[in-house]
Chain A
Amino acid sequence: MEKLTDDQFAVQAVGLGKRFGGATGPWALRHCDFAVPTGRICGVMGPNGAGKSTLFALAAMLCAPSEGELRLFGSPLTPDGRGDGDGLRARIGFAAQDKPLYRSFTVADTLRMGRELNPSWNQALAERVLRLAELKQDAKVGSLSGGQRSRLALALAIGKQPELLLLDEPLADLDPLVRHDLLGVLLSDAADRGTTVLISSHTLTELEEVVDHVLLLHSGRVRLAGGVDELLDAHRLVSGPADLERPPGEAVEWRVTGRRATGLLHHPDPAPPPAPWTQERPRLDELLLAHLRGAAAGHAQNADTGAPTTDRPSPVTSEAAS
């Protein structure tokens, strides 16, 4: 992955940090380094408040980073440089978590806005997303239910046919049946056009079957990033007697219950551990959960010992809060 050049990454973060409320505000995101290659379906996971929405706002160019830089298709966005903002804007589609829409517009007006403001608009695709929700074209947006509004917001983001599609909790308001249909439309279109998708969820299992890349956030830090297969290959779930020495590998999580020990180990070597240890390949949700619990435990440890969690000096920025 290191050998890829800049433009082979749709999104790339280098020491990325974002704080709100001026130079003294709390950090919503800090010391983030990751790269998402183009064409991937990347699940952005993490509990509420992990910094997912902040990352989306940065990637949608709604605000500037407070430190470090975020590269979109190799074009850097930094605290003071605005990069090729206007050119990039056409290549990025975003459905925000709160689904802002003009309440006085009708559904047709909203789609027309998409058509008028985006040269690459695909009305048929947007309507396909809408038809699944059976929305009336002359219904006022203000009268729609939460799920219908979500659907309309998604139609707007997808109809733009962006190269990078950012979907922040897109499925939260939708019922399971619609959720499934929508993911189908979304992913088949993304696959056809090679769209890079960043899709977030605080429910770890929701996206398990659709993502081929993950970015796990916790407390504003990246805890895990990479291709799903590579990550699963590099981890193993082991279990065995508690009194034996732990098999080689870095323990992401290690638990002893009674006389048995179980845990998730990070080890690039797929060779099986010595008997009587047993091992299996973890599922994605097991992997993510173990890392989240590990992160939470590490966080608590740091707090207990008073060790600073932010050890790098922070450059003071005069970024206006947005």
Chain B
Amino acid sequence: MSTAQLSGPAPASPGTAEAGADSSGRRSPLRPFRPSGLTWLAWRQSRTAARTLGATVLLAVLVLLVGHFVFRSTLGAIDPDSALLRIGLLAHFTDQVEPAIFVLPVLIGMFIGAPLLSQEHEQGTIRLVRVQSVSPTRWLRTRLAVPALLVLVSVGALAAVSTSLWYWDVYRLDPPSDPAFQGMTYPALGLAPVAWSLYALAVGAAIGQFLRRTVLAVPVTGVVVGLSQVLVHAVRVHFLPLTDAPSWKTSWSMQFVQPSGSWVVEGGYVLPDGSRVANTVCLAGMDCNSRTTLYPTWARVHPVSHLLPMQLVETALLAAVAGVALYLTFRRVARTAL
């Protein structure tokens, strides 16, 4: 009841009357962002994080674009397909851009997510908020939504730029380099940076709520998000069913051909009786590929077309875990407050 009144007409008191005149005075489409109510509070509290994140992302986008144009205008002007250009762009991308985007979610979880609620508990301000005319769950919703939106927009922009540069500058060249499924490449592409950043934010906030101490919540969030990355990296291969790589008949054997950019998960030889054995049996002593025994080969792969569906599955998984963390956080907040 009281909360609904917040968005209603301003009551006649000197302060609010002034604010009312202020906001209704000019209504041009270029009106600056002027949040009110809980949104104002959450925005005011996220301002430093917004500036840091905004500046970081802007800088990163700038570095990406400068790298792109420098390589293109120097080496690319001489020969667009030059090996030097390719190595330069590739190294730039794999050595700097990808690791940076890979650790970004961890940093977001540690320095935006973890302090979010732990500081409110530490400084006692959670009690200050609870004696205002707003419900604790509504406060929490806004408190989380505003930084989440900031992360979504800034990391989304960064991911869009880095993914398109990866595609045009690195991957699309012939033959393609830096395949999408590689260790650090995958988390830097497409949906992954955004999904992981939001996940880290939610998990960090939940950890902050339960530990209530910033000095603890920050490192714990770092470890939890880092471990999640290791774990998901290990199980990612099972997110989608593998497909058979087509075999290619050469004059002397059946060889599989690795589809461009694909992830070869397993492979081996087809024995005369039709059974498939893994490559590893050859190491164990079996004569797989000599002049006398030329077995056809087989392989199971994730083709590059699996990239987006795989990231969708991963996003859903992260959303589910983050959802559980948020559910517990909301329940805790609703339970301790009346």
Instruction: Give complex CA distance A40, B129 in Å.
Output: 26
Chain B CB within 8 A of A136 CB: no
For B104-132 the 0/1 string (1 means CB < 8 A from A) is: 00000000000000000001110111111
Q: Is there an interface contact between B41 and A120, defined as CB atoms closer than 8 Å?
A: no
Neighbouring B residues of A117 by C-beta, 8 Å: 6, 37-38, 41, 129, 132-134
Give the number of chain A interface residues (Cβ < 8 Å).
45
Instruction: Give complex CA distance A243, B200 in Å.
Output: 80
Q: Is there an interface contact between A123 and B15, defined as CB atoms closer than 8 Å?
A: yes
Sorted nearest first, the 7 A-B pairs with minimum C-beta distance are A123-B15, A100-B124, A90-B2, A90-B133, A117-B132, A119-B5, A94-B131
For A119-134 the 0/1 string (1 means CB < 8 A from B) is: 1111110100000000
Neighbouring A residues of B132 by C-beta, 8 Å: 89, 113-114, 117-118, 160
Name B123-153 residues within 8 Å CB distance of A. Answer: 123-125, 127-135
Q: Is there an interface contact between A62 and B133, defined as CB atoms closer than 8 Å?
A: no
B26 to chain A, nearest CB (A): 20
- Chain A residue at minimal CB-CB distance from B45: A102
Chain A CB within 8 A of B87 CB: no
Most A C-beta atoms less than 10 A away, residue of B128, B133, B335: B133
Chain B CB within 8 A of A98 CB: yes
Chain B CB within 8 A of A10 CB: no
Give the number of chain B interface residues (Cβ < 8 Å).
38
Chain B CB within 8 A of A41 CB: no
Instruction: Give complex CA distance A64, B136 in Å.
Output: 14
Instruction: Give complex CA distance A109, B133 in Å.
Output: 17
Q: Is there an interface contact between B37 and A62, defined as CB atoms closer than 8 Å?
A: no
- Chain B residue at minimal CB-CB distance from A102: B125
Q: Is there an interface contact between B337 and A115, defined as CB atoms closer than 8 Å?
A: no
Q: Is there an interface contact between A115 and B128, defined as CB atoms closer than 8 Å?
A: no
Q: Is there an interface contact between A119 and B123, defined as CB atoms closer than 8 Å?
A: no
Instruction: Give complex CA distance A122, B11 in Å.
Output: 9
Q: Is there an interface contact between A119 and B2, defined as CB atoms closer than 8 Å?
A: yes
Q: With contacts A86-B1, A115-B19, A124-B15 known, is A100 near B128, CB below 8 A? A: yes
Q: Is there an interface contact between A119 and B1, defined as CB atoms closer than 8 Å?
A: no
For A52-84 the 0/1 string (1 means CB < 8 A from B) is: 000000001111100000000000010000110
Neighbouring B residues of A126 by C-beta, 8 Å: 15
Neighbouring A residues of B338 by C-beta, 8 Å: 61, 63-64, 77, 82-83, 85
Partner among B15, B123, B133 whose Cβ is within 8 Å of the Cβ of A89: B133
For A281-322 the 0/1 string (1 means CB < 8 A from B) is: 000000000000000000000000000000000000000101
- Chain B residue at minimal CB-CB distance from A77: B338
Interface residues of B (CB under 8 A from A): 1-3, 5-6, 8, 11, 13-16, 18-19, 36-38, 40-41, 44-45, 48, 123-125, 127-135, 332, 335-338
A305 to chain B, nearest CB (A): 39
Q: Is there an interface contact between A160 and B133, defined as CB atoms closer than 8 Å?
A: yes
Known: A82-B338, A116-B37, A160-B133. 7 other contacts (CB 8 A): A61-B131, A62-B130, A89-B132, A114-B132, A116-B41, A119-B11, A121-B15
Partner among A61, A64, A115 whose Cβ is within 8 Å of the Cβ of B130: A61
Q: Is there an interface contact between A60 and B131, defined as CB atoms closer than 8 Å?
A: yes
Q: Is there an interface contact between A92 and B131, defined as CB atoms closer than 8 Å?
A: yes
Chain B CB within 8 A of A232 CB: no
Neighbouring B residues of A100 by C-beta, 8 Å: 123-125, 127-128
Q: Is there an interface contact between B335 and A113, defined as CB atoms closer than 8 Å?
A: no
Most B C-beta atoms less than 10 A away, residue of A61, A119, A126: A119
A243 to chain B, nearest CB (A): 57
Q: With contacts A86-B1, A120-B133, A124-B14 known, is A112 near B127, CB below 8 A? A: no
Neighbouring A residues of B44 by C-beta, 8 Å: 105, 109, 113
Most A C-beta atoms less than 10 A away, residue of B40, B129, B336, B338: B338
- Chain B residue at minimal CB-CB distance from A161: B13
Chain B CB within 8 A of A103 CB: yes
Neighbouring A residues of B127 by C-beta, 8 Å: 60, 62, 96, 100
Neighbouring B residues of A25 by C-beta, 8 Å: none
Instruction: Give complex CA distance A85, B130 in Å.
Output: 11
Chain B CB within 8 A of A50 CB: no
Chain B CB within 8 A of A87 CB: yes
Q: Is there an interface contact between B124 and A123, defined as CB atoms closer than 8 Å?
A: no
- Chain B residue at minimal CB-CB distance from A64: B338
Instruction: Give complex CA distance A107, B147 in Å.
Output: 23
Q: Is there an interface contact between A89 and B134, defined as CB atoms closer than 8 Å?
A: yes
Chain B CB within 8 A of A93 CB: yes
Chain B CB within 8 A of A101 CB: yes
Most B C-beta atoms less than 10 A away, residue of A93, A96, A102: A102
Q: With contacts A62-B337, A82-B338, A123-B18 known, is A98 near B37, CB below 8 A? A: no
Q: Is there an interface contact between A123 and B128, defined as CB atoms closer than 8 Å?
A: no
Would you give 18 A-B contacts (Cβ < 8 Å), ordered by A?
A62-B127, A63-B336, A86-B2, A89-B2, A89-B130, A90-B5, A96-B127, A101-B128, A113-B40, A116-B6, A116-B36, A117-B41, A117-B133, A118-B132, A121-B11, A121-B13, A124-B13, A157-B131
